[in-house]
Amino acid sequence: MSLINILKFKCPKCKEGAIFNSNHQLFSFHVPKMHTRCDKCNLKFEKESGFFIGAMYVSYGITVAEFLMVFIIFYFVLKVSLLTAFMVVVGVIILASILNFKLARTLWIYLFYNK
């Protein structure tokens, strides 16, 4: 399991095929389209129906980690007010939501991929 391949959202089997449609920007608010199968090795990404429901737990974990990191940096290091720190956290989480979605699904695919 290579971190670089996860961050590039590449297929766990061939490390070449893209899991998501690449023609969307990082901070767009369109839900990214997932390929059903890898276009290089034909690996099916959604193993069974409802497979990605579990990825919501991963997404939750990523979001909580981001929340804590941003909050600690702004409130305890930069010493902004509680309200400002909270608003920054909310802004960061909204901006990162699409990235979190893609990251959570990719991690979930890697977690359940057996060679």
List contacts with Zn ion (CB under 5 A): 11, 13-14, 17, 38, 40-41, 43
> Reduced to 3 states, what is the DSSP secondary structure of residue 34?
strand
| Cβ contact 32:98 at 8 Å | yes
Judged by beta carbon, residue 29 or residue 37, the one nearer Zn ion is 37
| Cβ contact 106:19 at 8 Å | yes
Q: How far is the CB of 70 from Zn ion (least distance, A)?
A: 34
Judged by beta carbon, residue 44 or residue 57, the one nearer Zn ion is 44
Token digits of residue 115: 């060679």
Q: How far is the CB of 115 from Zn ion (least distance, A)?
A: 12
Judged by beta carbon, residue 18 or residue 73, the one nearer Zn ion is 18
Q: What are phi and psi of 69, to 5 degrees?
A: -60, -50
Q: How far is the CB of 10 from Zn ion (least distance, A)?
A: 8
